[in-house]
Amino acid sequence: HRPYASGAVGNPHTPAQVTVHPQLADTPETRADLALYYDATARMDGQIGRMMAELERRGLRDNTLVVFLSDNGAPFPREKGTLYDLGTGTPLVLSWPGVVRAGAVYDRGMVSTIDLAPTLLEIAGARPPAAMQGRSFRGLVTAPDAYAGDSLVFSERNWHDCDEHQRSVRTSRFKLIRTDAYTELPLCTAADVGASPSFLALRALAKAGTLDSAQRRIFEVPRARLELYDLAADPWELRNVADDPRYAKEVRSLAAALQAWVERSDDFPAAYRVRDDNTDRVTGVAWTTKIPPLRNPHVPPPAERWGRPGPT
């Protein structure tokens, strides 16, 4: 987690070794920032290795399932805290001697982290509660060659330093993002990312008027309520094709699937939960560490309408 500092590993990465994604400014500051992130990742890898060695020392390695995952994408602009793949596409690595084949890669479908809890319960011999979302992917662990992954995965973005009400659905080829509030404001950037050298480098280009089309997306206003990305042709999700007649079928199909998920999961409308920002979306400046209260001046709390407790 940010902030990063030198000295995380004995053999640090150099700015020349990093890959700069197209939505970032390829400047010395960004490259140095990425190099420190690579160092932090390498340090984490070493810590995991020490944990695995301890399991081995205690004689527990052969009957232990180890799961490695991340809670979000990398903490860089238009990555962490977004519904783009760079924000939601997180690692999922499983190690279980005698069950999971070492070095195997599953790339024939998708799984969601919400599936992890029912998976672990089933592996442990317990039955997941009926109300638990997600489906077990035990079959992926024990018989990957016969496992069919999910055809649709869903994500959502709510308050994190600034408020959003975004929902998305992804297939193996397409991503549809629906933004139900704040479209008159730029995309929210988390406070730690807003204070990063990579974000400040983008701000410098914005002030100079030299942002290219990819870099400009993070400051774009107004934002479209619907975004559709053809991931096969546009893996960086930079060209919104929701208004392209050639993709009308995909927009209608995915919008219907997303709405069905919203209703099935008992999601809340954007007007039910409103929270002020504590980080400026344009400058990245965080002016307070306090989380503003939820407010809803226009709609009665859900308890009054649906007979259940309202959000707190």
Buried (b) or exposed (e) across 41-77, using 16+ Cβ within 10 A?
ebeeeeeeeeeeeeeeeeeebeeeeeeeeeeebbbbb
Q: Is the pLDDT of residue 299 over 80?
A: no
Q: Is a pLDDT exceeding 80 seen at residue 303?
A: no
Q: What is the pLDDT of residues 217-240, one digit of tens each?
A: 999 999 999 999 999 999 999 999
Residue 309 pLDDT exceeds 70? no
Q: Cβ neighbours of residue 248 under 8 Å, at least 6 residues apart?
A: none
Q: What share of the chain in percent tops pLDDT 90? A: 79
* pTM more than 0.75: yes
- Please determine, for residue 308, whether its predicted confidence score (pLDDT) is greater than 70: no
Tokens at 171, concatenated: 């297939």
pLDDT digits (tens, 9 = 90+) for 152-175: 999 999 999 999 999 999 999 999
CA angle in degrees (0–180, nearest 5) for 194-197-198: 75
pLDDT at 304: 47
Give the dihedral of Cα atoms 126, 116, 107, 267; nearest 10 deg: 120
Indicate if the pLDDT at residue 307 is higher than 80. Answer: no
* pLDDT tens-digit map of 269-281: 898 888 999 999 9
In 3D space, the residue among 18, 25, 28 whose CA is nearest the CA of residue 217 turns out to be 25
